[in-house]
């Protein structure tokens, strides 16, 4: 398995109202350095949600471009679709579909599909906390063939995973929100191998539509492939624009 950034939402909190109307949030961040070192980093992401009293549909995407004088320009592109439906006041079912291209992690394409059940531990206007469990399947294709322990090379890899996650949102005030999600994905094909992801985001509103955001994403892969580190962390600051 190759270490990679899984698809994620824009991570500033989209306004969620149970009226069946689409609402969206778009985030942009960039940095440019010149002089002793030259580098450019651009991050674009977006999330759209349609919710009712019983279900929620989420679409998200992200693009990251990094260019510096020491290495070739690298890109990470991801997109995701998730559907959640309440079975009763506490229990919900979910399904998800994700796609990823991550050049730094040697991933030409990663496609994942999964589903399962979750439980609303806390469900308030200022605080939500959910746990979920399910099963998924992931197919990976590599930019360059990966060397295996037996000396052979492989260009793709498919495996079934367990999906375990917890997620919460916190509204500290009318202008400040915090969001986090931790996922653990044991590999059912290769015993002992697993992936883990952790995402956090802080959003501070400047106006009704504009917010300052800071996000941290960490990815861990117990078997990332030759020459790749097991852990990968990304910190991004930017400005979000809300469409309600």
CATH number at residue 26: 2.40.160.40
> What are the C-alpha distances in Å from 118 to residues 8, 9, 124, 129, 146?
19, 19, 17, 11, 36
Whether the Cβ atoms of residue 12 and residue 28 lie closer than 8 Å to each other:
no
157 inside domain: yes
Q: Is residue 210 part of a domain?
A: yes
Q: Is residue 4 part of a domain?
A: no
CB 45, CB 76: distance < 8 Å: no
pLDDT score recorded for residue 154: 85
Q: Which residues, other chains included, contact 212 with Cβ-Cβ below 8 Å and sequence gap of 6+? A: 203, 204, 206, 237, 238, 239, 240
The first and second tokens of residue 9, run together, are 């939402």
Please give the residue range of the domain that contains residue 235.
22-243
* Residue 64 located in a structural domain: yes
Nearest C-alpha neighbor of 82 from the set 131, 138, 9, 167: 9
Task: Tell me whether residue 17 is in a domain.
Answer: no
Is 120 a domain residue?
Answer: yes
pTM of the model: 0.83
> 223: which strand partners?
none
Under 8 Å CB-to-CB from 218, ≥6 apart: which residues? 197, 198, 199, 231, 232, 233, 234
Burial 71-86 (b: 16+ CB within 10 A, else e): eeeeebbbbbbbebeb
In a domain, 15, yes or no: no
- Nearest in space to 112 (alpha carbons), one of 167, 158, 180: 158
Number of domains in the chain: 1
User: Over its length of 244 residues, how does the chain's per-residue pLDDT go in tens digits?
Assistant: 443 333 443 445 677 888 999 999 999 988 776 665 677 888 888 999 999 999 999 999 989 888 876 667 788 899 999 999 999 999 999 999 999 998 888 889 999 999 999 999 999 989 999 999 999 999 999 998 887 767 788 899 899 999 999 999 999 998 999 999 999 999 998 888 999 999 999 999 999 899 999 888 898 988 877 777 888 888 888 899 988 8
Q: Is 1 inside a domain boundary?
A: no
With CA atoms as reference, report the closest residue to 112 among 182, 162, 44, 50: 162
- The span from the CA of 51 to the CA of 20, in Å, is 5
Residues in the chain: 244
């Amino acid at each position: 398995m190759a270490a990679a950034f899984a698809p994620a939402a824009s991570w500033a909190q989209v306004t969620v109202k149970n009226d069946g109307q689409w609402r969206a949030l778009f985030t942009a961040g960039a940095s440019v350095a010149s002089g002793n070192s030259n580098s450019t980093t651009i991050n674009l992401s977006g999330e759209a949600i349609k919710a009712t009293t019983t279900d929620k549909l989420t679409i998200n995407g992200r693009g990251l471009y990094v260019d510096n004088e020491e290495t070739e320009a690298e890109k990470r592109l991801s997109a995701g679709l998730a559907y959640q439906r309440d079975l009763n006041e506490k229990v919900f079912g979910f399904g998800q579909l994700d796609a990823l291209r991550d050049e730094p992690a040697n991933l030409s394409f990663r496609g994942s599909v999964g589903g399962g059940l979750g439980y609303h531990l806390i469900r308030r206007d200022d605080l939500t906390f959910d746990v979920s469990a399910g099963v998924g399947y992931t197919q990976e294709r590599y930019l360059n063939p990966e060397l295996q322990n037996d000396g052979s090379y492989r260009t793709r890899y498919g495996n079934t995973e367990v999906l375990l996650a917890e997620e919460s949102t916190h509204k500290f005030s009318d202008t400040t929100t915090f969001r986090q999600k931790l996922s653990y994905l044991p590999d059912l094909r290769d015993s002992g191998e697993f992936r883990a992801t952790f995402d956090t985001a802080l959003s501070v509103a400047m106006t009704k539509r504009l917010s300052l955001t800071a996000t941290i994403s960490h990815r861990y892969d117990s078997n990332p492939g030759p020459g790749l580190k097991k852990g990968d962390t990304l910190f991004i600051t930017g400005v979000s624009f809300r469409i309600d």
